[in-house]
Amino acid sequence: MKRLLIAALAVLMLLPLTDALGQQTIAERLGYPRDAKLLIVHADDLGMAHSVNAATIKAFESGLVSSGSIMVPCPWLSEIAAYARANPQADLGLHLTLTSEWTSFRWGPVTPKDRVSSLLDKDGYFYLTETEAAAHADPKQVELEIIAQIERARALGIQPTHLDSHMGTLYQNKTLFEVFLRVARSQKLPVRVAKTWFAQTDFLPSTLTPDDVYIDRILDINAAVAPNDWAKFYSDAIKKLEPGVTEVVIHLAYDDAEMRGATFNHPNWGAAWRQRDFEFFTSEAFRKLLQENNIKLITWRELGKLIK
């Protein structure tokens, strides 16, 4: 009996993505073998700036970036909406937006401002940071605004395949996450949630149900990585990629005058940062890494099909 238990434990340890209760992994639910390495290469912040739109569309065309999400309140929404209408196969979600983080270049809500005053700073824009936004946000107004963003996107001909949250504002506390999840469920859209977050974010396991669709892990770079180590960071992560569904969250734009103007006092996620992401994720080196490591690119559209 003891041996059997040890053997069973060993099997469980070899198959960390099989739910302890024997439920299917997300990879299996998608119809892939449980050891498949599945990757969503996801570009955030579409609609924010022309530079972001242009670089991301170029990256989609390389076939190496499989998904992206759109910021509805931003000034360049119309440009990416036109792309979405012309490319209905593109895997485009909504990057629900409740912050406006660049000091020279700003945006505010889709909802009439007097109905969402808890979301606005003294200048009438969204707050600069996710912490301020979450601290002031009235959950009813958050619901109103994120539904308005989804409705505006649909009115412009965008058929979103998934939802996520710009700067993670909607993951800042349980109340906001519940609003987010309620709206996503009512729209039958999957939400960016990773199983690896469960350990740090105690409200996630209690809020989600087995019917919700979420992925295994998120991979993203951070400011501790030196610019010269950018490609090495991503290459190492891809070589070590575990089975299951991983989303690498990237930020694409060109290091041009517009992006430098927007991010002039904010090197993190700034113009040069985004150019480095663009260069790596459209490179032949990245394409080769995917092949050599037997990694398959997938989309949120596939995940969304699992929602009942």
Decide: is 232 part of the binding site for its own copies (CB under 8 A): no
Q: Is 101 in the site for its own copies (CB under 8 A)?
A: no
Q: Choose the stretch contacting its own copies; rule: CB under 8 A; options: 109-117, 191-199, 200-208, 268-276.
A: 109-117
Q: What single-letter DSSP state applies at residue 99?
A: B
Query: Within a 13 Å sphere around the CA of 159, how many CA atoms are in the beta-carbon half?
Result: 9
98 closest CA partner among 161, 146, 139: 146
Each residue 114-133 as x (binds its own copies by CB under 8 A) or -, in order, gives xx------xxx---------
Among 7, 10, 11, 82, binds its own copies (CB under 8 A): 82
**What are the tokens at 94?**
């909504």
Residues between 194 and 223 that touch its own copies (CB under 8 A):
none
Site string for its own copies, 46-65 (x = CB under 8 A): ---xxx-xx-----------
Q: What is the smallest separation between the CB atom of 156 and its own copies, expressed in angstroms? A: 7
What sign does the dihedral 131-137-139-142 (CA atoms) show? Answer: negative
Q: Does 269 bind its own copies (CB under 8 A)?
A: no
Closer Cβ to its own copies, 31 or 157, answer by number: 157
Can you tell me which of 43, 59, 92, 110 binds its own copies, judged by CB under 8 A? 110
Torsion, CA 278, CA 83, CA 163, CA 102, rounded to 10: 60
By CB under 8 A, tell whether 79 contacts its own copies: yes
Rounded to the nearest whole angstrom, what is the least distance from the CB of residue 220 to its own copies in the complex?
26
Report how far residue 259's alpha carbon sits from residue 274's, in angstroms, rounded to the nearest whole number. Answer: 9
Should residue 77 be labelled a site residue for its own copies when binding is judged by CB under 8 A? Answer: yes
Smallest separation, CB 128 to its own copies (Å) = 11
Alpha carbon distance 34, 24 (integer Å): 8
Contact status, residue 273 vs residue 244, Cβ threshold 8 Å: no
CB of 184 to its own copies, least distance (A): 23
Strands (E), the chain: 37-46, 67-70, 92-96, 163-165, 217-219, 244-250, 295-297
Task: Dump strand ranges (E) for 79-136.
Answer: 92-96
Between CA 71 and CA 299 the distance in angstroms is: 19
Q: Cβ 105 to its own copies, closest distance in Å?
A: 5
> What would you report as the CA-atom Rg of the chain, rounded to the nearest whole angstrom?
20
258 binds its own copies (CB under 8 A): yes
Site for its own copies in 152-191 (CB under 8 A): 152, 155-156
Which residues of the chain form contacts with its own copies (CB under 8 A)?
A: 49-51, 53-54, 74-79, 82, 103-107, 110, 112-115, 122-124, 152, 155-156, 254, 256-258, 261-262
